[in-house]
Chains A and B, each alone.
Chain A
């Protein structure tokens, strides 16, 4: 059994909450007391049916306004897989939440209302999924019950979506006609759409191949923490703790430490349960090196013949998360893997209109939810890959030094 993380997106009222409720309900992940609570709440609101959407309502403010305003995480499992859903709101003013949810997802479900077809939001959500490096998109054409389960509606929409999504970086895209409300093709197949021969949504979620989505070629090990037991049994032990963010490290591999450039070999890969012969992303391990060289947090251990770029001038696609606009020539704290540096915004190249993907080189006013390409200069070199090659070594966050808030999320180009 492995783990799949996915995010759900759609415009308001496309049926996102109903769909998640349906997935949880039909996969028997909802408990009686939860069901009772939402039955009571539905009744209070004067609704006839139990509103499955209420299951995924989180905070009080949201309950009162009846909207989702933050990323909420949900969990369910089948005998095949455990699932983590990043449930994110669809409205344009919450682009940043969607970016947050998408940043750790393997897959995105994008809901489309069968009656309305492709709308601005569909394009925006698709673009964000693709920008955030999500490898798999499933378009769920929802509310098929309201168009009489008509195959033609589905086929036309599928053709439109195909034409549009061919421009995306994401290559694995599928299309499923569903009714979240009635449950058709979500977990169970119904007789309402005999013309549909593909798999149900849950079946797809259970079977999509995700193991090869990670980079298992370029070895990257950002050092997180140095372990020095200083006890009798491990007197001279120095282990470099961290998580493998790319490639496969093996015992006896020749490695190089950045930025020093010192080389050594891996003496052992240690874990609490004993040595392992090899380790790959995303394993947390401790590397023990043959030679006594100086290594500390923020350094990166790589293979001798395969280094990331070492750069101080970095171009990123930036999603701005803060209400305070991005300052041209402004200075920010920057985090990249386990490294902390500062940076200055050198240049704002263009802003992306996330509905049309149009590049606007005139408008340099970057505020909440904007996506822009910018150039940064950092106080020290970073060891980077492009985001497309490696999500972990290709991403940065910017922090406002006066508030300590995370204000920007950047994907290295």
Chain B
């Protein structure tokens, strides 16, 4: 008898496709949060697979801090053009201009936290009842307990102590008017799974993930890219370094790593050998031991 068995990537893919289809079936107006990072690129790829040969039945939404790398915008626009997706841009700059949020000041100023307001406003104004996100449970310990279907009250808040039990593969997306869900189709994937899958499916990713020369400086042991959005202290020496990014977020709070990995295989080897979590390079998580949990409760991704 044939051994009917899937590889771990096939099983994860199948699970994610199942979740994406549940979202399309259970919600009236979902959206897929798209940052241009590898996790959201994989989510979008899975969505295209889930509904093939039809188009993805929901738009993508980019919550844009305006402080992203140019390469990221180019990549995003190319992908949208090539695949015919609908893209909504929710702009943090607009939230600032409208006085809904105030820009942080100082050396470590970042728009990362401001995204929450922009995101929640965009969910409300577009009347989205579900926002799909590319968060993974292996990223951070507050995420380890996140459900696939995560209920948010009408303030967009997450109550970690009062989560709905999630059994088997039955997902309960019932909600009251004004409430919404966050759904995480790649919850069970690890960073390694993502890279192996990108290789297997030959998915294109922004060049930021591959090694390149860039003007950088070191702050608190983290390599930061020098951009127009970030000020440096006189003591922080700016020099050209050979780096790549493990995660891509806002340029003000995403650290780079020294690396010569120039293709996916080399990245996979690097990830296999590396001894620091990918969020270890994100200053937004270092603010306190429970930084992520606090931001999530408020409605962060």
A residues in contact (CB < 8 Å) with B: 1-3, 31-34, 37, 41, 57-61, 63, 69-75, 77, 81-82, 84, 96-97, 99-100, 103-104, 211-212, 214, 216, 224-225, 227-231, 233-234, 237, 239, 241-243, 248, 270-273, 280-284, 286, 297, 321, 333, 335-338, 391-392, 395-397, 399, 404-406, 409
Contact = CB atoms under 8 A, between A and B. Distances in A.
Given A241-B50, A272-B52, A397-B167, A73 B280 contact: no
Interface in B165-201: 165-170, 172, 174-176, 187-188, 190, 192-193
B172 A397 contact: yes
A335 B8 contact: no
11 contacts: A33-B280, A58-B144, A61-B161, A71-B145, A72-B144, A75-B190, A82-B190, A231-B53, A283-B14, A397-B168, A406-B172
A399 B142 contact: no
Given A284-B50, A397-B172, A58 B8 contact: no
A227 B137 contact: no
Interface of B: 3-8, 10-15, 17-18, 21-22, 24-25, 48-55, 137-138, 141-142, 144-145, 160-161, 163-170, 172, 174-176, 187-188, 190, 192-193, 274-277, 280, 289-290, 293
A213 B56 CA distance: 34
Contacts of B15: 282, 284
B22 A2 contact: no
Contacts of B24: 225
A60 B164 contact: no
A71 B144 CA distance: 8
Given A3-B11, A31-B276, A243-B14, A237 B53 contact: yes
A333 B174 CA distance: 10
A224 B21 contact: yes
Contacts of B163: 70
A211 B14 CA distance: 16
A82 B193 contact: yes
Contact of B137 (A31, A61, A75, A82): A75
Given A211-B3, A280-B4, A337-B170, 11 more contacts: A1-B8, A58-B145, A61-B161, A74-B138, A75-B138, A229-B55, A270-B52, A281-B4, A284-B15, A404-B176, A409-B167
Nearest to B273: A28
A216 B4 contact: yes
- Majority secondary structure, A binding face: mixed
Contact of B172 (A96, A227, A241, A399): A399
Nearest to B166: A100
Given A395-B168, A399-B172, A405-B164, A297 B25 contact: yes
B46 to A, nearest CB: 9
Contacts of A41: 289
Nearest to B144: A72
Contacts of B192: 77
- Majority secondary structure, B binding face: loop
Contact of A404 (B7, B13, B175, B276): B175
Contacts of A409: 165, 167
A77 B12 CA distance: 14
B49 A2 contact: no
A71 B174 CA distance: 21
A216 B2 CA distance: 10
B134 to A, nearest CB: 16
Contacts of A103: 167-168
Given A211-B5, A282-B11, A395-B170, A60 B50 contact: no
A321 B11 CA distance: 28
Given A272-B48, A297-B25, A284 B11 contact: no
A365 B55 CA distance: 50
Contact of B22 (A34, A224, A270): A224
B53 A234 contact: yes
B169 A284 contact: no
Contacts of A337: 170
A253 to B, nearest CB: 16
Contact of B293 (A33, A37, A60, A99): A60
A153 B193 CA distance: 42
Contacts of B6: 2-3, 282-283
Nearest to B52: A272
B54 A230 contact: yes
Contacts of B144: 58, 72-74
A37 B25 contact: no
Contact of B11 (A2, A237, A391): A2
A311 to B, nearest CB: 18
Contacts of B13: 284
B290 A60 contact: yes
A191 B49 CA distance: 51
B25 to A, nearest CB: 5
Contacts of A61: 160-161
Contact of B145 (A72, A84, A230, A335): A72
Contact of B276 (A33, A84, A225): A33
Contacts of A271: 49, 52
Contact of A31 (B21, B141, B174, B280): B280
Contacts of A224: 18, 21-22, 25
B53 A233 contact: yes
Given A33-B277, A399-B174, A409-B167, A2 B5 contact: yes
Contacts of A59: 142, 145, 160-161, 293
Q: Which 10 A-B pairs have the closest CB atoms?
A: A272-B49, A229-B54, A211-B5, A404-B174, A284-B17, A3-B8, A33-B280, A82-B8, A103-B167, A272-B52
A211 B2 CA distance: 10
A212 B275 CA distance: 36
Given A59-B145, A73-B137, A96 B161 contact: no
A395 B192 CA distance: 32
Given A2-B11, A241-B50, A282-B14, A57 B170 contact: no
A198 to B, nearest CB: 25
A236 B175 CA distance: 34
A271 B14 CA distance: 11
A262 B169 CA distance: 27
A224 B24 CA distance: 9
A234 B54 CA distance: 8
